[in-house]
Structure 1
Amino acid sequence: MNPRSKLSDCFSREEIQRLSQRSDAAGWWAVGSTWAIIAATFAVLALWPNPVTFVLALVILGGRQLALAILMHEAAHGTLFRTRWLNDRLTDWLCARVIWVDVARYHKHHIRHHSHTGTDEDPDWSLSRPFPTRRASLLRKFARDLSGISGLRRLLGQLLMDLGVLEYTVAAEVTRRPQGDRRWHHYLAEGARNMGPMLLANAALAGILAACGEFWLFGVWWLANLTTYSLFMRIRSLAEHACTERGRDMLRNTRTTRAGWLARATVAPLRVNYHIEHHLMAALPWFRLAEAHRLLRQRGLVPTPPGYLEVLRRVSETATK
């Protein structure tokens, strides 16, 4: 595909119109099913607390927290719900705030990623730039994720962004905001505005668990956020853009990855693995991505997607190997 080609080079006008149709029912299903799995995981761990259920809970909760982040991502594109209030407000409270992110600021950052993917102006380029790397280096990154080191750094960065010390970003590199003549009360006021909804959402979750007599599960929730969620986010990010071509061709600067049941439960919830299709047509709701992929494959526009293990092998091979 020529970088100047239009969406109409891949899909007919009728297909674009049909594929871009959003659905409140699909949005409710995505949000409701995600929270149903979270609730079931809490229930199983509360009823049968042992090392096996504890580890499984960390894996499942980390995967569902990534699902909540993907639902926020959908809402940032305006594709999760057809009704705007549900898309912008409900998603913010039910999906984003409880994992300490928000729809509005993410939207402002993420739209720049779509506008400049494959170029030096891409704000997320720092996530892909270190790759390929050596296998030992990749394993060290995974170890930092599972040990909670990456998660603690992420939460510290989020705190400083909420206070207005750092510029908002979801990328690997952060920059300090110009401070001017700001005083401590300015930081506190900005922090209260940014963190208030997050604290309320988490207080609601903690209150529900406490009312069920299982407040300790709230600690498991945040332990998953610090560990498995960090790992799953990294692998998802690597699959999407690491070791793809530089340039503005959306069929080459982005990757679609094959996802089996385990990947869908962890690193690829809600069909986020169809990333070429998402970049080609950002108005595609999550439940239509697979259909768009089938059409592109039938027309020979995209290759057979690699699996996640194959992607990890690619990104852990040095350029000199």
Structure 2
Amino acid sequence: MECPAPPLDPAMESPAPLTRQELNRGVVALKRPNHTTNLYYLAREYLFLALAIGLPIAFFRWTRSLGYPLWVNLPGYLVSIFFIGAIQHRLSNLTHEAGHYALFKNRYMNELVSDLCCIFLLGATTQNYRVSHWGHHAYVNDPEKDPDLIRLKQHQEYDFPMAKGRFCLLYVILQMLPKQSLKYLWGRAKIAVLGINEGAFAETKPVYGSMPTTLLRIAYYSAGIALLTWQGWWIYLLLFWIVPIVTFYPLFMLLREIAHHTNVPDNSTYRNSRVFRPGWLEGFCIFPYGQAYHLPHHLFPSVPHYRLDKAHELAMRYPEYRNNTTICGGFFLSSPMDRQMPTVLDLLSQPA
């Protein structure tokens, strides 16, 4: 089922239609990243992370001092690892920005901050991610060349459309079990951690080479091991990083990947992905940092996440984009203003 784009409001109807050349010229001004915007977003993620870890620890210490049983901490802990998994996903999406050299204007800053502050925390490197991700952009939804599609089919392959209940069982409930979760993580780790690529990949020149990256990783993880040992924080690493990384983090990653390209009408330029209108929680967990504007991202991959909404608004003045773009709500729910739109779950359950 394809959801046609909703009517533009009067403010958007007044500008004249654009040709593709005019659209491309208009997008050029949106492509330039800066050195400040993503520093704010990165600092905010670390604040979220500090709260998600610090609050349940403080609550545990308080309840223990009062003699409460350990189980009273369980609800708060589950909420904590839910949001930590979302933050891990959000950090990986800042590396997605770096993969397109859109995190910062300076490429060394782009690579170094992405490695040290985002993706090293998940065991991977920006360059390993980039070479595979560019292959996905070049051959989106090609069953023989798209590395993302190849990896997802190796994880679990089912035909769409799929009934909503069956989808929730297979891709949500069973996905949370260790077997499926670790299988999905291994598929991603082969690419982003070990640099093993299947399908097409881009021969991009590393920003600072494989040897400096290896030495940087050794120093980074050695310092981390030393700090954890010195402070006796290994239990915190297990409870507040490893547990969410094998539960909620892969769930959010998988749902986002499915939403972007599964059961689309066809693989043509304007119909191989979608634009989403999620509510705040799904926007935080599943569609962070421009992932709700995935079709314009594929058209204009150099546009930073904080300008993709403007790229979409501009593209809506181009008739071929406007007439073919699928705009839907969130994955399970839509934003309050877009309740009339079908959700991703609706689209996955009906013929494309």
**TM-score grouping bracket, smaller chain normalisation:** 0.7 to 0.9
What TM-score, normalized by structure 1, do the two folds share? 0.78
Aligned residue for 1:305, secondary structure, equals strand
Deviation of residue 87 (structure 1)? 0.8
The structure 2 residue matched to 1:147, chosen from 177, 180, 184, is 177
Instruction: Return the alpha-carbon distance in structure 2 between the equivalents of residues 54 and 234 of structure 1.
Output: 23
**CA distance in 1: counterparts of 2:212 and 2:24, whole angstroms:** 45
Aligned position for 2:348: 315
2 CA distance for matches of 1:80 and 1:38?
A: 20
Q: Does structure 1 residue 243 correspond to structure 2 residue 272? A: no
1:54-80, Cα deviation, whole Å (9 max, x unpaired) = 111111111111111111111010001
CA separation of 1:143 and 1:299: change in aligned 2, threshold 3 A: same
For the 8 Å contact 1:240–1:275, the answer to whether it is kept is yes
Is 1:109 matched up with 2:121?
no
CA-based RMSD: 3.2
CA distance in 2, matches of 1:7, 1:60: 43
Structure 2 gaps, min length 5: 1-17, 61-72, 200-210, 333-342
**Aligned positions of 1:38-187 closer than 5 A:** 38-49=49-60, 50-120=73-143, 121-126=145-150, 127=152, 130=158, 131-134=160-163, 135-157=165-187, 167-168=196-197
Identity of aligned residues (%): 23
Tell me how many residue pairs correspond in the alignment: 290
Distance 2:167 2:326 in 1: 29
Equivalence for 2:300 = 281
Q: Is the 8 A contact 1:241 1:254 kept in 2?
A: yes
CA distance in 2, matches of 1:195, 1:226: 25
CA distance in 1, matches of 2:330, 2:175: 21
When normalised by structure 2's length, the TM-score is: 0.72
- How far did residue 212 of structure 1 move? 6.4
3-state SS, counterpart of residue 94 of structure 1? helix
1:20 paired with 2:31, answer yes
* Post-superposition CA distance 1:174-203 (Å, at most 9, x none): xxxxxxxxxxxxxxxxxx998876675456
Q: Could you tell me whether the CA contact under 8 Å between 1:150 and 1:230 is conserved in 2? A: no
Unaligned ranges ≥5, structure 1: 1-5, 172-191
Cα deviation for residue 39 of structure 1 reads: 1.4
Given the alignment, which residue of 36, 40, 62 partners 2:47?
36
The 5-angstrom pairing of residues 218-257 of structure 1 reads: 218-219=237-238, 220-249=240-269, 251-257=270-276
1:276-307 Cα distance to aligned partner (Å, 9 max, x none): 11001011101101122223345561354332
Contact 1:162–1:194 under 8 Å retained in 2: no
Equivalent in the alignment of 2:10: none
